[in-house]
C-alpha cells in the first residue's frame, strides 16, 4: 500500500463547532503519545454522558472550546505507558478522562483509571466510571445515605428509628439513575424514581425501585405525599434543574437533603434561603470532574465498594444501546430524543 493510501493513525470524532448533533464529524488524527504518569489506551468502548451533549451545544460551564474530541470515559487495553506507570501492555482498564474518549486511542492519567472487574465487558466498563461514581458519591459521600434498618443517622437525626430512608431519584432509568437505584436499594432504602415511559419504569422497578413514577402522567410530589403519609423523602438526587429542582424540594421531608448534579433542562435553579432555613432542608452540589480534580481520593474511595458489587453480581451496568464510533451524531440525537435507557456506548470498528 502506498503511503498516500495508508490508513491514518486513528479515527476520532470531533465537535467542529457548537451546535446540533450534526456538529459531530469523523476526523483523522495522529495517535496521542503518553507522557510521564500516563497511558495510551486502545479504545474498545467509549461512554456517552449528557454532559457531552451540553458541551457540544456550548452551554456547559467551563466546557472545551471547539474544535475538540469529546468523551469523558473509555474502556480498552493499555497500548503504551509513559514513565512511572506500573501497567503492562494489554492490561484491561477503564479511565475517567478530561476529554478525547470518542476515538480509537486516548491518553489517560494513570491515577484516574482502574482495572476492569472480572467478567465485565468493555461496553459495560465504559458505562462504569461516570455513572456509578456519580451515583455513589451523590448517595453516600454527599447525600449522607447510610446502610441499615432506618435508625437515626448524623445526616438525619430526626428520622424515626425502624424506618428505612426514603430516596427520590429523578431520571431513574438513565445512566446515573440506574446506578443510583441499585445502590440505594442495596443499602436498604425505600426508592422512588421518575421516568417518562412505562418501559423505563419497568427497568427501574427491575433494578429495585419501589415506587416508579411516570412523571408525564402524574405529579411526583403527589405520589411521594401519598406513599409517605405527607412526610416526604429524606434524600433527592436531582439533575434536571428548572421547576424539577423546586418541586423536588417540595417532596422532601424536614431535615431532608437534595444533591444536585446536573442541569439537563438547560435552565439553572436556585433554592430560596428562607425556605431552607425554616424547613431545615439542605442542598448539596456535586460535579464529578471538579470533585476528582480537587480531592480525587474522596471520589475514588468508592471504587473498591463498586468493584466488589460488580464482581458479586449485586451491581450491573445497564447498557441500553451501542453505536459505531462513526455514528456518534446519531447516538447523541438518540439521547436528546429521550429514547435511551441506561448507558449509551460508542464502539470503534
CATH number of the domain where residue 205 is located: 3.40.50.720
Name the strand (E) or helix (H) holding 130.
Answer: helix 129-136
Task: Give me the sign of the Cα torsion angle 48, 123, 87, 78.
Answer: negative
191 and 49 in a common domain: no
113, 147: one domain:
no
How far out from the chain centre does Cα 2 lie? 44
Answer whether residue 294 is part of any domain.
no
Here the cell at position 128 is 462504569
Same domain, 217 and 328: no
Q: How far apart are CA 142 and CA 299, in angstroms?
A: 10
C-beta separation of 128 from 172 below 8 A: no
Distance between CA 310 and CA 197 in Å, rounded?
A: 27
pLDDT tens digits along 138-179: 999 999 998 764 444 555 555 555 689 999 999 999 999 999
Asked whether residue 118 falls in the same domain as residue 199, the answer is no
Instruction: Write down the pLDDT at residue 6.
Output: 52
Rounded Cα distance, 345 and 309, in Å? 21
Return the bridge partners of 95, or none: 74, 113
pLDDT number for residue 8: 59
Using only C-alpha atoms, what is the Rg of the chain? 21
3-class DSSP assignment, residue 263: coil
| Same structural domain, 216 and 331 | no
Query: pTM of this prediction?
Result: 0.89
Query: What digits encode the pLDDT tens for the residues 47-75?
Result: 999 999 999 999 998 899 999 999 999 99
d(CA 200, CA 219): 17
Same domain, 282 and 138: yes
What is the domain extent for residue 165?
132-289
In order of 144, 157, 236, 253, 275, the CA distances from 154 in angstroms are 8, 6, 17, 16, 22
Indicate the DSSP class of residue 55: H
Distance CA 179, CA 202 (A): 15
Q: At 289, is the secondary structure helix, strand, or coil? A: helix
CB–CB of 13/102 below 8 Å?
Answer: yes
pLDDT number for residue 151: 45
Residue 45 near residue 84 (C-beta atoms within 8 A) = no
Give the Cα separation of 62 and 256 in Å (integer): 30
Cell numbers for 271, please give them.
433554592
Task: Return d(Cα 48, Cα 274) in angstroms, integer.
Answer: 38
Distance CA 119, CA 106 (A): 23
Q: Are residues 90 and 156 in the same domain?
A: no
Residue 189 in any domain: the answer is yes
Domain count, the chain: 2
Q: Which residues of the chain have pLDDT under 70?
A: 1-8, 148-162
Amino acid at each position: 500500500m502506498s503511503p498516500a493510501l495508508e490508513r491514518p493513525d486513528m479515527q476520532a470524532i470531533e465537535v467542529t463547532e457548537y451546535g446540533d448533533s450534526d456538529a459531530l464529524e469523523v476526523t483523522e488524527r495522529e495517535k496521542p503519545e503518553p507522557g510521564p504518569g500516563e497511558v495510551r489506551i486502545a479504545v474498545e468502548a467509549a461512554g456517552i454522558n449528557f454532559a457531552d451533549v451540553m458541551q457540544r451545544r456550548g452551554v456547559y460551564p467551563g466546557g472545551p472550546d471547539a474544535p475538540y474530541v469529546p468523551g469523558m470515559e473509555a474502556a480498552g487495553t493499555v497500548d503504551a505507558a509513559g514513565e512511572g506507570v506500573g501497567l503492562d501492555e494489554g492490561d484491561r482498564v477503564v479511565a475517567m478522562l478530561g476529554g478525547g474518549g470518542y476515538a480509537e486511542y486516548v491518553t489517560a492519567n494513570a491515577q484516574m483509571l482502574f482495572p476492569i472487574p472480572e467478567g465485565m465487558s468493555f461496553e459495560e466498563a465504559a458505562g462504569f466510571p461516570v455513572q456509578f461514581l456519580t451515583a455513589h458519591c451523590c448517595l453516600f459521600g454527599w447525600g449522607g445515605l447510610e446502610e441499615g434498618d432506618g435508625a437515626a443517622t448524623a445526616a438525619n437525626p430526626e428520622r424515626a428509628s425502624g424506618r428505612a430512608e426514603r430516596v427520590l431519584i429523578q431520571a431513574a432509568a438513565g445512566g446515573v439513575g440506574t446506578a443510583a437505584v441499585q445502590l440505594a436499594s442495596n443499602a436498604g432504602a425505600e426508592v422512588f424514581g421518575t421516568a417518562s415511559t412505562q418501559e423505563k419504569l419497568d427497568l427501574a422497578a427491575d433494578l429495585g425501585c419501589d415506587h416508579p413514577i411516570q412523571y408525564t402522567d402524574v405529579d411526583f410530589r403527589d405520589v411521594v405525599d401519598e406513599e409517605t403519609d405527607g412526610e416526604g423523602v429524606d434524600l433527592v438526587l436531582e439533575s434536571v434543574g428548572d421547576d424539577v429542582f423546586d418541586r423536588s424540594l417540595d417532596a422532601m421531608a424536614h431535615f431532608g437533603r437534595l444533591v444536585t448534579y446536573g442541569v439537563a433542562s438547560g435552565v439553572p435553579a436556585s433554592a430560596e434561603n428562607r425556605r431552607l432555613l425554616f424547613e431545615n432542608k439542605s442542598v448539596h452540589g456535586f460535579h464529578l470532574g471538579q470533585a476528582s480534580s480537587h480531592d480525587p481520593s474522596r471520589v475514588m474511595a468508592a471504587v473498591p465498594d463498586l468493584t466488589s458489587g460488580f464482581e458479586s453480581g449485586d451491581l450491573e451496568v445497564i447498557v441500553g444501546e451501542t453505536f459505531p464510533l462513526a455514528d456518534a451524531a446519531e447516538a447523541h440525537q438518540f439521547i436528546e430524543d429521550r429514547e435511551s435507557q441506561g448507558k449509551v456506548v460508542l464502539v470503534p470498528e
